[in-house]
Amino acid sequence: MLYGLGKPGQRVRQFVDAGVADMRYQVRDGETAIPADSCAPAMISIDGTTLKVAAVAEDPAAVEALLLASIDAAAAEERRRWLTVAPGQADEYRETWAEVQDFRSLGATLAQILLALAQMSATAQRARFPFLFAEADASGISLSEAATRIEAARQISRESRALIKRKRRSAKIAVKAATSIVAKKAAAKVNWSA
């Protein structure tokens, strides 16, 4: 989300594209951070705290910059639906994905994979595929089914993130190409749900 930073009653010092948790590192003493919408009004206000946006509404370059940042912020929110930001979670996903690839490398067919697994002890299997076993055990399914589920979920996430990128880039290109403030604002409207 895009936030304006500054002291109440004064001009916005800076616009920041960040989550609420990140704001504590950006806000200075006596300042507040409040959401700024993509229309760039002369004043932005929340809970009675007002920051002035210095003539942004009349300056095409300033409006464009605000709109571009707003598009990026909205895209970041959309990506959060597909990416986990919890500490360590990304590592877990990477390790699980590496195990899926390792599992698939055991053979060209499921029969070959199962034969290769059968040649390993149960302890060796669990040591080699701890995250894949964690998924299988938690879900009550086989390693093969767990690998297939992980592959499917990864593909859905990948396609969704690629769509977000396409929409984000298309909107930003359209905003930059627009020749009026009205056209820039219209170009910045992205239907993320479609």
Tell me what pLDDT residue 72 has. 85
pLDDT band at residue 73 under the 50/70/90 scheme = confident
Indicate whether 86 belongs to any domain.
Answer: yes
Together in a domain, 24 and 89: no
CB 67 within 8 A of CB 184: yes
Together in a domain, 18 and 106: no
Q: What mean pLDDT do residues 32-42 have? A: 51
pLDDT band at residue 74 under the 50/70/90 scheme = confident
Q: Is pLDDT at 37 greater than 60 in this prediction? A: no
Indicate whether 97 belongs to any domain.
Answer: yes
* 59 or 16, greater pLDDT: 59
Tell me what pLDDT residue 194 has. 72
Q: Is pLDDT at 174 greater than 80 in this prediction? A: yes
Burial status of residue 8 (CB atoms within 10 A of its CB: 0-12, 13-18, 19 or more): middle
Together in a domain, 188 and 124: yes
Indicate whether 166 belongs to any domain.
Answer: yes
| CA–CA distance, 54 with 172 (Å, rounded to integer) | 23
Domain that holds residue 158: 79-194
Indicate whether 70 belongs to any domain.
Answer: no
- Kindly report, residue by residue over 125-138, the tens digit of the pLDDT: 999 999 999 999 99
Give the count of domains, the chain: 2
Tell me what pLDDT residue 83 has. 77
Together in a domain, 52 and 93: no
* Structure tokens, 174: 């359209």
Q: Is pLDDT at 6 greater than 70 in this prediction? A: no
Indicate whether 177 belongs to any domain.
Answer: yes
Together in a domain, 45 and 105: no
The conformational region for residue 71 under phi > 0 = left, psi -120 to 50 = alpha, else beta, is alpha
Together in a domain, 109 and 189: yes
Indicate whether 193 belongs to any domain.
Answer: yes
- Kindly report, residue by residue over 88-146, the tens digit of the pLDDT: 888 999 999 999 999 999 999 999 999 999 999 999 999 999 999 999 999 999 999 99
